[in-house]
Amino acid sequence: MNQLFAALRKEILLQWRTRAQILAIFVFGATALLLFSFAIGPNSAALRLHAAGFLWLGLLLSSTLALAESFQLETEQKGLEGLLLLPADPRALYYAKAIANLVQLSILGIALVPVMVVLYDVSLKNLGALVGVIILGAAGLSAPGTLYSAMASQARAKQTLLPLLLFPLVVPVLLASVKSTSLLIGGDPMGQLKSWVTLVTSFDVIYWSLCGLLFGRVVED
């Protein structure tokens, strides 16, 4: 546990020092939402109907930029090899990186909500529940995204390779997150929200456990 806290502290400090990059990624996500709204046109009903899907599509596209940079400093300065030589569990290194990515993606997703509200004329009825869904969805992106980022970090075309690996895997969490957000925006007369939240939670539990076990083998190879 001490190893995890030490590694997590390192990751938080690194993200704080590169906070300008986080701002740039937010601008990218907000711009994507703006372009999506242009594709729909000045139709308020259609904008509200597609708001949840476009919010998560914007977060998914933005997440590839954030996740692709997860191991940039370690790769450039051979820091990952040095960390692996320490008497530390590779799982602590993975979970520290994944938690830091989760925090970053959660903040990004929450920051995109006001943009969605303005552009898509959305009325939020339960902001707390929406924040919870965003955190669960961000967890589903960060767990496999961190593992695949480690795999792609040695490749020259990591910006291209990471989406190719990540997008097919996160279809269930993306579908569940979009549906949950849509129900929170438009109402849930059939009581479907619990089932979709259970799906994304199950995905998170499985992949946070599985990716932590696989990380050591990935970075050693």
| pLDDT tens for each residue of 40-95 | 877 778 888 889 999 999 999 998 888 887 776 666 655 555 555 555 677 778 88
pLDDT higher than threshold 60 for residue 221: no
- What mean pLDDT comes out for the span 138-151? 89
Tokens of 55: 């919010």
Amino acid 217 reads: R
State the Cα–Cα distance between residues 95 and 100, nearest whole angstrom.
8
How many CB atoms lie under 10 A from the CB of residue 189? 7
Whole-number pLDDT of residue 69: 75
Tokens of 142: 């960060």
- What mean pLDDT comes out for the span 125-138? 91
Average per-residue pLDDT for the chain? 83
State the Cα–Cα distance between residues 40 and 56, nearest whole angstrom.
16
Q: N- to C-terminal Cα distance for the chain? A: 25
pLDDT higher than threshold 90 for residue 198: yes
1-5, 54-58, 89-93, 215-219: least confidently modelled range: 1-5
Tokens of 33: 């939402």
Element (DSSP H or E) covering residue 130: helix 127-152
Question: Which residue has better confidence, 13 or 138?
Answer: 138
Whole-number pLDDT of residue 153: 72
Label residue 164 by pLDDT band (50, 70, 90): confident
Q: Tell me how many helices (H) and strands (E) the chain has.
A: 10, 0
- What mean pLDDT comes out for the span 183-208? 89
- What mean pLDDT comes out for the span 202-206? 93
How many structural domains compose the chain?
1
22-36, 70-84, 145-159: least confidently modelled range: 70-84
Instruction: Residue 98: give the domain boundaries.
Output: 2-220
How many CB atoms lie under 10 A from the CB of residue 9? 12
How much of the chain is helix, strand and coil, in % rounded to 5?
A: 85, 0, 15
Share of the chain above pLDDT 70, in %: 79
